[in-house]
Amino acid sequence: MSIASRYRAPTPRASTECLCPIETVEQYLITPNEQRPLVCFVTEGSYTRSSATVRKCRFRSRILSGRNPDMLRRAFFWLVPALCCVSQLSAGIIYSNIGAGFPGDTGAYGFGGPSVEGTAFTATGQGNLWTIFVGIDGDSLPATVGLYSDSSGQSGTLLESWTFIVPSSLPTLTSVLHPLLSSGTEYWFVMEIPNRGQNEGWRMNDEGVTGGVWYGPGRNTWSQIFPDEATLGIQLTSVSEPTSAVLFVIGSFVLVPLSRRLKTA
């Protein structure tokens, strides 16, 4: 059971020592540099606080209890705009053949199941896969799509797959595995329609990229059709490795002002 006690030293002392034989005691301290109660958490047994420990405790209590609103305001001044910039700093385009008017400014290929359709593309950026925006819509039935490496001009090793109910609006798929994709490397994106009588559409790109579509009963038995026509529309985004560095910088912006305030306390 938690017990709270209030301790006030009769006179300020350079070193503060409290004996706390009771488990989970909240101890309110007054130190020479701070003539206000401060919240500290101690554990069972005797506990002697050094001046450094007291400063750490005072720093934590100010942040958590809001006893220093100026410090909190400084923290949020740096933190809020920095966090808003994280996605802009870390996100990138791995590949895209769609423009601002997509999909309203382009046509679509229609496919009936069971069948397999796909497109090959060469990555123009590098990073760990984050999302894939693909121009698929049609019957609200299950379909499976997959991202593959290239193997001698054909789809090779599966890097990640998604099974979903085809929505009425174009889907954005979020990666779980976050495979690393390399700039200048060819990849394949493939859709499998499992059911007979199931009809799905895949919008053409609107950036003038030709290549048609690869189509057939399976990935090993398909062929390229309409090679001089627009290929399928797709966009891949990444979250690159510098994200951790960005977060480190954000943390530094927040902690440096706080640590300076702590040293003067």
How far is the C-alpha of 9 from the C-alpha of 157, rounded, in Å? Answer: 71
Within a domain: 264: no
* Same domain? 168 vs 100: yes
Q: Where does the pLDDT of residue 246 fall: very low under 50, low under 70, confident under 90, or very high at 90 and above? A: low
Co-location of 125 and 202 in the same domain: yes
CB-based contacts of 229: which residues, under 8 Å, 6+ apart? 204, 210, 212
Centre a 10 Å sphere on the Cβ of residue 13 and count the other Cβ atoms it contains: 11
Distance CA 122, CA 182 (A): 9
Give the whole-angstrom CA distance, residue 75 versus residue 62: 12
Q: What is the mean pLDDT of residues 108-132?
A: 97
Name residues whose C-beta falls within 8 Å of residue 157's C-beta, 6 or more positions apart in sequence. Answer: 148, 149, 151
Helix (H, G, I), strand (E, B) or coil at 130: strand
54 phi and psi angles, rounded to 5 deg: -65, -40
Same domain, 233 and 157: yes
Whether 51 is covered by a domain: the verdict is: yes
Q: Assess whether pLDDT exceeds 90 at residue 190.
A: yes
DSSP E strand boundaries for the chain: 3-6, 17-20, 25-31, 34-42, 45-48, 91-96, 108-112, 115-122, 127-134, 136-138, 142-151, 154-165, 172-174, 180-181, 186-193, 199-203, 213-216, 223-225, 234-239
- Asked whether residue 260 is assigned to any structural domain, the reply reads no
Any domain includes 8: yes
Q: Is residue 178 part of a domain?
A: yes
Instruction: Kindly state whether residues 14 and 102 are assigned to the same domain.
Output: no
| pLDDT value at residue 100 | 95
Is the alpha carbon torsion for 37, 41, 42, 47 positive or negative? negative
User: What tens digit of pLDDT does each residue of 23-43 get?
Assistant: 333 343 334 444 443 333 333
Domain shared by 99 and 222, yes or no: yes
Q: Which of 48, 47, 72, 73 is nearest to 59 (CA)?
A: 72
Considering the domain architecture, whether residues 181 and 220 belong to the same structural domain is answered as yes
How confident is residue 250, by pLDDT bands cut at 50, 70 and 90?
low
Are residues 133 and 237 both part of a single domain?
Answer: yes
**CB distance 185 to 121 below 8 Å:** no
pLDDT of residue 132: 98
Distance CA 134, CA 138 (A): 13
What is the distance, to the nearest Å, from the Cα of residue 196 to the centroid of all Cα atoms in its chain? 38
Identify the weakest region by mean pLDDT among 44-48, 204-208, 215-219, 237-241: 44-48
Write the CATH number for 106: 2.60.120
Residue 109 lies in a domain: yes
Who has greater pLDDT, 146 or 55? 146
Flag whether 134 is in a domain: yes
Confidence at residue 169, expressed as pLDDT on a 0 to 100 scale? 85
Do 204 and 108 share a structural domain? Answer: yes
Q: Copy the structure tokens of residue 178.
A: 């976050």
What's the whole-number mean pLDDT along residues 200-220?
96
- 45, 18, 47, 13: CA torsion to nearest 10: -170
Residue 178: HSE in the Cβ half-sphere, 13 Å Cα cutoff: 8
> Cβ-count burial of 126 within 10 angstroms (0-12 exposed, 13-18 middle, 19+ buried)?
middle
Alpha carbon of residue 260 to chain centroid: 31
* Same domain as 63, residue 3: yes
What pLDDT, on the 0 to 100 scale, is given for residue 14?
40
Element (H, E) at 196: none
Q: Which domain holds residue 5?
A: 1-67
| 180/134 same-domain check | yes
Same domain membership, residue 56 and residue 11: yes
What mean pLDDT, rounded, does the chain reach?
Answer: 74
Residues 105 and 35 in one domain: no
Q: How many domains does the chain have?
A: 2
Quick check: is 258 in a domain?
A: no
